[in-house]
Amino acid sequence: MVVRASLPEQLEFAMGFLQGKRALIVGLANNHSIAWGIAGAMRREGAELAFTYQSDKLADRIAALAATLDSDITLRCDVSRDADIEQVFNHLDDYWDHLDIIVHSVAFAPAGQLEGNYIDDVTREGFRIAHDISSYSFVALTKAARPMLRPGSALLTVSYLGAVRAVPHYNVMGLAKASLEANVRYMAAALGPEQIRVNAISAGPIKTAAAKGISDFNQMLDYGARNAPLRRNVTGEEVGNAAAFLCSDLASGISGDVLYVDAGYHVQAMALPDDD
Residues near ligand 0WE, by CB under 6 A: 107-109, 111, 114, 160, 167, 169-170, 173, 205, 210-211, 213-214, 220
Strand, coil or helix: what is 106? coil
Measured from the CB atom, the residue of 43 and 177 that comes closer to ligand 0WE is 177
Q: Which of 53, 170, 260, 265 is flagged as catalytic?
A: 170
C-alpha–C-alpha distance, residues 53 and 77, integer Å: 6
Query: Please, what is the minimum distance in Å from the beta carbon of residue 63 to ligand 0WE?
Result: 24
HEC string of 197-227 equals EEEEEEECCCCCHHHHCCCCHHHHHHHHHHH
Neighbouring residues of 120: CB distance < 8 A, sequence distance ≥ 6: none
C-alpha–C-alpha distance, residues 121 and 227, integer Å: 29
Annotation marks residue 170 as catalytic: yes
Annotation marks residue 223 as catalytic: no
Q: Which of 160, 186, 260, 265 is flagged as catalytic?
A: 160
Which amino acid would we find at residue 193? Answer: P
Which amino acid would we find at residue 180? Answer: L
Measured from the CB atom, the residue of 178 and 211 that comes closer to ligand 0WE is 211
Measured from the CB atom, the residue of 99 and 176 that comes closer to ligand 0WE is 176
Pairing of the two strands 48-53 and 22-26: parallel
Q: Residue with the closest Cβ to ligand 0WE? A: 213
Contact 170, 126 (CB under 8 A): no
C-alpha–C-alpha distance, residues 184 and 157, integer Å: 8
C-alpha–C-alpha distance, residues 204 and 242, integer Å: 13
C-alpha–C-alpha distance, residues 133 and 177, integer Å: 11
Measured from the CB atom, the residue of 188 and 239 that comes closer to ligand 0WE is 239
Query: Please, what is the minimum distance in Å from the beta carbon of residue 213 to ligand 0WE?
Result: 3
Query: Please, what is the minimum distance in Å from the beta carbon of residue 173 to ligand 0WE?
Result: 5
Measured from the CB atom, the residue of 89 and 265 that comes closer to ligand 0WE is 265
Query: Please, what is the minimum distance in Å from the beta carbon of residue 52 to ligand 0WE?
Result: 18
Output the CA torsion sign for 63, 65, 68, 71.
Answer: negative
Measured from the CB atom, the residue of 78 and 86 that comes closer to ligand 0WE is 78
Query: Please, what is the minimum distance in Å from the beta carbon of residue 94 to ligand 0WE?
Result: 32
C-alpha–C-alpha distance, residues 177 and 161, integer Å: 8
C-alpha–C-alpha distance, residues 181 and 260, integer Å: 12
Query: Please, what is the minimum distance in Å from the beta carbon of residue 118 to ligand 0WE?
Result: 11
Residues classed as catalytic: 160, 170
